[in-house]
Chains A and B, each alone.
Chain A
Amino acid sequence: MIFSSIVFVSVFLPVVILFYYAIAVLAKNHGGRTAQNYFLFLASLLFYGYGEVKFVFVMLASIFANWLFGLLVEKNRGNRKKSCMTLFIMAFFNFSILFLFKYLMFTIATANRFLGTDLAIPKIVLPIGISFFTFQAVSYVVDVYRGHGKAQKNPVNVGLYIAFFPQLIAGPIVRYETVAQQILFRKESFDQFSQGVCRFITGMAKKMILANNMGRLEDLAFGTELSSLSAGMAWLGAFAYSFQILFDFSGYSDMAIGLGKVFGFEFLENFNHPYISVSVTEFWRRWHISLGTWFRDYLYIPLGGSRKEGRAGLVFHLFIVWLSTGLWHGANWTFIMWGLLYFVLLTFEKLSGFAQKNNLRPLRHFYTMFFVVMGWVLFRSASLGAAFSYIKIMFFAGSAGIVDGDARYYFCEYAVTLLLCFAASFPVRKLLDRLFARWSARALVWEERCSAVWYIALFVVSLSYMAKSSYNPFIYFNF
C-alpha cells in the first residue's frame, strides 16, 4: 500500500487513527500504550502485507531475530567478546537476507559476464522496503550495544520500531536511539497531531502534484529512442527527473514524518531543500539525511572516519561509504557508478577544502547542481551504456537536433509545473514566515491561520489526482 492512494487515505488511515485513539481512551489505565503499540504493529503488518502477503514473513523473521540479538547484546554488555560476536552474527544475518533478495541475481549476472561462468540466475522478487527495514534493524542492535537505547523485552516493540508503517517502505531510516524512548513514553497532543496532518498534506501534494507530473515528463524523455532524442528533450528529461526524485522522495518523507506525529512519534528530518546547496558536501547534508547519518554513524566513523590513517585512510573510508551508498540504492552498475561519482566529488571537496570556502556562491551552486543532475541521469538510466549515450545527447553528440518539436511541445506543456517545482525547491515557507514576522507579530498569526486554506486546497487537489487515478508511480522498488 502506498500513502498516495485512495485505499490508504479513505480506508486504512481513518480506521487506524480511529482505533489508535479509541484504545487510548478505553484502555487508559490498563496498559493503553502497550495495546496501542500492539495495534500499530498489526496495522503495519497489514499495510506491508497488502502489497505482497508472503514478504510479511521475511519481515517477521527479521524482527524476531533482531529482537533476540538485542537481548543478547544487552545480556552480554559486560562481555565485549560475546557482544562483538553477537553483533557480527547480527550483521551477517541481516546483510545475508539483504544480499539474498537484492544482490544475488546481480552478483551471479556479473560473475557470468566477467568470469565467463554460466550460472543460472534465480528469479527473486525484492520485498519492498527491505533496505529500509534492514538498516533500521541493524541500527536497533548497534544502538543497544552502544547503550544509546535499551533492548526491548517485548518483541512487538521491536516490531513496531522496524515495521512502523509510516517509515516502512520509503524511509526515513529512523535510528533506534532517536525513538527508543518514544516507543513506550511518547505523548500525543492535538497540536502535534495537527502539525502531522499538515506535514502529511505537504508531502502528499509534493508527490501527487509535482513529482508525478515530472515523472510523466521524464518518462517521455528517458523512454524516447536515443536516435530520435533531441538535446533539448534530453535536458528537459534530466531536469524533470531531478525534480521528480526530489519531490517524490521528500514527499514520502514528509508524509512519514507527518504520520509519525499523528501517532505521537517525532522522526528526524530527512530532506532540507538540497537543491539550494553550494557544494556536494552540503547537498549530502540536505539530501536523504537519515541515510547519510546512518552510513556516517554505522560505517564511516566505525571505519575510522577522517581521523585515522591520514589522507589515504580518509579516501579509502569515503570509497567504502559511497560504494555502499550506491549499492544501497539498487543492484545495478548505474547505482554503483552514481555512488562512485559522489566519492570522487566529495573526496575532491574534502581534500581541497572546497566545502569550507564561501566565495563564488552562484558558480559553486552551478557546479553542485551540474553534477547532481548528471548523477540523476546515471541513476535513472537502465544501464551505464544508456546513461552515457543520454549524457552525450545532452551535449549535442548524436542528438536528433538541438530543440525538436517534442521538446518545444513538452516545455510549453509543463512550463508552469516546472516553475512550481523550481519555486518549491527553495524554503518558501520559511521566507514567508520571516517576511510576515518582520512586518508584525499579528500578521504572522494571521498568516498561520490562513495557511489552513492553503493546506486544505493542497489536500483537495492531491485527492483529486488520486480520484482521477492519474499516473502515480512508486519509484522505490529498487531500494
Chain B
Amino acid sequence: MGNKLYDSTARKKKETKKRGRKKRPFPVTGKTITAIVFLAALYAMLFGMVKKQNEIGDAFRKSYKEAEGNTFDKTAAGIASAETAINKSVVGKRKLIDIFGLFQVVLGRKEVEAGSKENYVYKMDNGQLTFAYPAFDVTQAVAQLKGLKTACDAQGTQLLYVQWPFKIDKYNNLLPHGKTDYANQNADRLLAGLKENQVAALDYREVLHERYGSGEAYSSLFFNTDHHWKTETAFEAYTDLLDYLNKNYGYGYDPRITDRDNFVFEHVEQCFTGSQANRTGKFYGGVDDFTYIYPAFETDYVWEKYGKTLKKLLKREGSFNETLFFEAVKEEPDIAKPYRDNCYFNGNPALVKITNNQVEKGRILFVCDSYSKPVVSFLSLAVHHLEFMDLRDFTKIRLVDYIEDQGFDMVIVAYNVSATKRSTKDFFRFGADPEG
C-alpha cells in the first residue's frame, strides 16, 4: 500500500515535472540560434588555436628571448609575436578572406586593403587586380645605375637595364574611378636618366605595345589575380631577350632552345589564385589558369639556392625539372591554390646559382625580383652559369664587390621601378653610394 502510495506520488511529481518541462520548451528564437552558432564558432577557433599552441608558444618565447629591456618590455614583445602567430592560425582563414572579398563586392569597392594600411589592391575596369604606385624621384636610382655601369666597365662586364611591362598599360589606364598610377611615369623618367648617362636599356613595354596594342590582347598577357605576367608571356620575353642579346651583344644560341615545339606547355584551368587574389579572396579576384612550361628535351643542371647571408641552403643536380623546376607545386590541380608560380625556384630566393652543363659559354648575373623568375629559368637554357639575385634581400654586401669577386660577362638589372625607391645606402648599393 505504502509503496503504491509512494509510487503514485512519485509518478505524479514526475508527470508534473514533465508537464512543467513541456510548458517551458527551449526557446527557439533568432537570438538563441545565434548564440549557439556563435559558441560553436568560438570553440572551433579555440580548438584550432590549441592545435597550433606550439607555434604560438614558440613565437612568444623567441621574441621574449630576443627582445631587449626589462621583463615588461620582453613580455610585451613576446605577446606581440604570439598575437601575430594567433592571427595566422585562425581556423578557416582562407575561407574568411574569401568572404571578406565577397563583402567588398557587395560594398562596390574597387580598392581593397592588401595587408597594411598603405598597400591596396585595385580592381581595374577589365576586372583584373593590380597594385598602383605613387610618383617618386628616380634621381638616386639613376645615379646608382650609372655607378654600376662605371664599375662594370672597369671589369669589362656588360650592363643592361631591362624594363619589364606593368599590368597597368602605359597607354590605357584602366584603374577605377580615374585613379592614376605612376609606375610607367617613374619608369619613363628612369629610362630617360639611363639614356642620358649612356646606360644600355631595353624597354620591353614598347615591344609588347607594338605587338599587342592596348586592349584586351595586352591585358591577356598578365594573370588576372597576380601582379606577374603569365608564364607564356615570360616565355615570349625570354625568346625576345635572347634575340636582343644576340643582335646587340653577339650572344649566339642554339635556336632550338627558343622553339615552342621543343617545350611542354602544360595548361591547367582554374588552379591559381595569385598573390593579389590571395589578399582579397577568390570571390573578389577570381581564379586564374596556369601554364607550366618546361623543356621537352634533355637537360643537365646544377642548381644552388643561397640565403641572405650567402649561406648555401639547397643544391640540386639533374634535369631542368629535377633542379630549378619544382614538380610538387603542380599537385592537386583541381584546387585553386596560391603560389603555383613557385614552380620556378620554389619561392623567392635571395640568390640562385644555375649551372647548365650542356652550354659552355656565358656568365650572367640577373639582378631582379620575382617577376623575372620564369624568364631567368628559361634563359638558363642558353647560359653556362646564370645567377639570380634579389638585391632587396642583401643589405650588407655591395653589388660591385660581388661582381668583382665572381666575374661576369654580363649583368642584367630588371626591377619594378618602385623597388628602386629604396635606392638609398641600404639598397642598390651599386657603387655610387657615397658611403660605399
Question: Residues of A with Cβ closer than 8 Å to B?
Answer: 5-7, 9-11, 13-15, 17-18, 50, 52-54, 190-191, 193-195, 197-198, 201, 209, 213, 216, 219, 405, 408-409, 412-413, 415-417, 420, 448-452, 454-456, 459-461, 463-471
A253 to B236, CA, bound (A): 59
Alpha-carbon distance A413/B41, docked complex (angstroms):
32
Nearest opposing residue in chain A for B115, CB measure: A469
Complex contact B113–A190 (CB within 8 A): no
User: B76-108: which residues lie under 8 A (CB-CB) from chain A?
Assistant: 76, 79, 83, 86-87, 90-91, 93, 96-97, 99-100, 103, 106-108
Other-chain residue from A7, A191, A464, A470 in contact with B32 (beta carbon distance below 8 A): A191
A408 adjacent to B115 (CB under 8 Å): no
In the complex, B27 has a CB within 8 A of chain A: yes
Give the contacting residue for B27; candidates A52, A191, A416, A454; CB below 8 A: A191
The stretch among B42-50, B140-148, B316-324 that forms the contact with chain A is: B42-50
**Contact in complex: A413, B110 (CB < 8 Å):** yes
- The answer to the question of B171 belonging to the interface, with a C-beta cut-off of 8 Å to chain A, is no
Question: Which residues of B have CB within 8 Å of A194?
Answer: 29, 31-32, 34-35
How far apart are B248's CB and chain A's nearest CB, in angstroms?
Answer: 41
CA distance A244 to B42 in the complex (A): 27
Chain B, residue nearest A190 (CB): B32
Determine whether the beta carbon of A452 is less than 8 Å from that of B79.
no
Q: For residue B220, give the distance in angstroms from its CB to the closest CB of chain A.
A: 27
**Complex alpha-carbon distance, A194 and B28, angstroms:** 11
How far apart are the CA atoms of A459 and B76 in the complex, in Å?
29
Contact of A413 among B33, B83, B177 (CB under 8 A): B177
**Most chain A beta-carbon contacts within 10 A, residue among B30, B37, B93, B107:** B30
Does A471 lie within 8 Å of B72, measured CB to CB? no
Residues of chain A with a CB closer than 8 A to B79's CB: 50
Q: Which residues of A contact B75 (CB under 8 A)?
A: 53
Contact B99 A461 (CB under 8 A): yes
* Cα separation A6 to B34 with both chains bound (whole Å): 19
Q: Evaluate whether A195 and B42 lie within 8 angstroms (CB atoms) in the complex, with A10-B49, A53-B76, A216-B117 already known.
A: no
> With an 8 A cutoff between CB atoms, is B38 at the interface?
yes
Report Cα–Cα, A36/B355, bound state, in Å: 68
> Please, how many angstroms separate the alpha-carbon atoms of A316 and B43 in the complex?
54
Which B residues between 31 and 77 are near A, CB-CB below 8 angstroms? 31-35, 37-39, 41-43, 45-46, 48-49, 72, 75-76
Question: A195 near B100 (CB under 8 angstroms)?
Answer: no
Give chain B residues whose Cβ lies under 8 Å from the Cβ of A471. 113, 117
Task: Report which of A197, A216, A454, A466 forms a contact with B35, defined as CB distance below 8 A.
Answer: A197
4 shortest A-B CB distances, which residue pairs? A10-B45, A451-B30, A467-B96, A194-B35
Chain A hits for B113, CB < 8 A: 216, 468, 470-471
Q: 26 interchain pairs (CB within 8 A)? A: A7-B83, A9-B45, A10-B49, A11-B46, A17-B42, A52-B76, A190-B32, A190-B35, A191-B32, A193-B35, A194-B34, A197-B38, A412-B176, A415-B108, A416-B107, A417-B107, A420-B107, A448-B31, A452-B31, A452-B33, A463-B41, A463-B96, A464-B96, A468-B97, A469-B115, A470-B100
Q: How far is the CA of A53 from the CA of B39 in the complex (A)?
A: 29
- Is A451 a contact of B31 with CB atoms below 8 Å? yes
Whether A14 contacts B103 by the Cβ 8 Å rule is no
Residues of A within 8 A of B45 (CB): 6, 9-11, 14
Residues of B that sit less than 8 Å from A by CB: 27-35, 37-39, 41-43, 45-46, 48-49, 72, 75-76, 79, 83, 86-87, 90-91, 93, 96-97, 99-100, 103, 106-111, 113, 115, 117, 176-180
Q: How far is the CB of B173 from chain A (nearest CB, A)?
A: 12
Q: How far is the CB of B331 from the nearest CB of chain A, in Å?
A: 25
Q: Is the interface of A mostly helix, strand, loop or mixed?
A: helix
Taking CB atoms, residues of chain B closer than 8 Å to A408 are: 177-178
Q: A408 CA to B113 CA in the complex, in Å?
A: 19
CA distance A5 to B45 in the complex (A): 13
Given A5-B83, A6-B45: 10 more A-B contacts, CB < 8 Å:
A10-B91, A14-B39, A54-B72, A448-B29, A451-B31, A456-B34, A456-B38, A467-B90, A467-B96, A467-B97
Knowing A417-B107, A464-B96, the reply to whether A197 touches B34 (Cβ < 8 A) is yes
Do B96 and A413 have beta carbons less than 8 Å apart? no
Total residue contacts A-B, CB cutoff 8 A: 150
Contacts of B31 in A (CB 8 A): 191, 194-195, 197-198, 448, 451-452, 455
Q: Which residue of chain A is the closest to B26 with respect to CB atoms? A: A190
Cα distance A451–B115 in the bound complex, in angstroms: 32
B100 contact from A5, A416, A464, Cβ within 8 A:
A464
Residues on the B chain within 8 Å of A219, using CB: 117
C-alpha gap A455/B110 in the complex (Å): 26
CA gap between A291 and B297 in the complex, in Å: 78
* A463→B103 CA distance, assembly (Å): 12
Which of A52, A449, A470 has a CB less than 8 Å from the CB of B29? A449
Residue of B nearest to A49 (CB): B75
- Please determine whether B37 and A452 come into contact, CB atoms closer than 8 angstroms: yes
A6 touches B90 (CB 8 A): yes
The closest CB in chain A to the CB of B179 belongs to A409
Minimum CB–CB distance for A373 against chain B, Å:
23
Q: Determine the distance from Cα of A9 to Cα of B41 in the docked complex, in whole angstroms.
A: 9
With known contacts A10-B46, A412-B177, A456–B107 Cβ distance under 8 A: no
Contact yes or no, B108 A198, CB < 8 A: no
CB atoms of A10 and B30 under 8 A apart: no
Chain B residues near A450: list those with CB within 8 A. 30
Determine the distance from Cα of A53 to Cα of B99 in the docked complex, in whole angstroms: 35
Cβ contact within 8 Å between A10 and B38: no
Partner of A452, one of B30, B43, B46, B93: B30
Contact assessment for B30 and A459 in the assembled complex, using a CB-CB cutoff below 8 Å: no
Is there contact, CB below 8 Å, between B177 and A409? yes
Tell me the bound Cα distance from A455 to B30 in angstroms.
Answer: 9
The CA-CA distance from A405 to B35 in the complex, in Å, is: 46
B42 adjacent to A10 (CB under 8 Å): yes
Assess whether A456 is in contact with B48, with CB atoms less than 8 Å apart: no
Q: Please report the C-alpha to C-alpha distance between residue A4 and residue B100 in the assembled complex, in whole angstroms.
A: 15
A6–B86 Cα distance when bound, in Å, is: 7
A18 cross-chain contacts in B, Cβ below 8 A: 43
A413–B175 alpha-carbon span in the complex (Å): 12
CA distance A170 to B347 in the complex (A): 44
> Can you name the residue of chain A whose Cβ is closest to the Cβ of B36?
A194
B87 proximity list for chain A (CB < 8 A): 6-7, 467, 469
Most buried by B among A193, A405, A456, A464: A464
Task: Write the chain B residue with the least CB distance to A191.
Answer: B27
| Distance A455 CA – B41 CA, assembled complex (angstroms) | 13
Please tell me if the beta carbons of B103 and A9 are within 8 angstroms of each other in the complex.
no
Contacts of B86 in A (CB 8 A): 6-7, 10-11
**Nearest CB on B from A411, distance (A):** 9
Residues B97 and A464 in contact, CB atoms below 8 Å apart: yes
Minimum distance in angstroms from B62 CB to a CB of chain A:
18
Minimal beta-carbon separation of A360 from chain B (angstroms): 36
Which A residue sits closest to B28, measured CB to CB? A449
Query: Chain B CB within 10 Å — which of A10, A17, A470 has the most?
Result: A10
Instruction: Output the least CB separation between B78 and chain A (Å).
Output: 11
B97 contacts across to A, CB distance below 8 A: 464, 467-468
Find out whether the CB atom of A467 lies under 8 angstroms from the CB atom of B93.
Answer: yes
* Contact between chains at B30 and A468 (CB < 8 Å): no
Q: How far is the CA of A13 from the CA of B31 in the complex (A)?
A: 19
A10 CA / B48 CA spacing, docked (Å)? 9
CA distance A195 to B91 in the complex (A): 26
Residue of B nearest to A219 (CB): B117
A449 proximity list for chain B (CB < 8 A): 28-30, 33
Chain B residues in 8 Å Cβ range of A466 = 90
Please determine whether B38 and A459 come into contact, CB atoms closer than 8 angstroms: yes
B42 touches A9 (CB 8 A): yes
Determine the distance from Cα of A455 to Cα of B87 in the docked complex, in whole angstroms.
23
Q: State the CA gap A455–B34 with chains docked (Å).
A: 7
A54–B117 CA distance with the chains assembled, in angstroms: 29
Q: In the bound complex, what is the Cα–Cα distance between A463 and B113 (angstroms)?
A: 16
Expressed in whole angstroms, the Cα–Cα distance for A415 and B176 within the complex equals 14
Shortest A372–chain B CB gap in Å is: 25
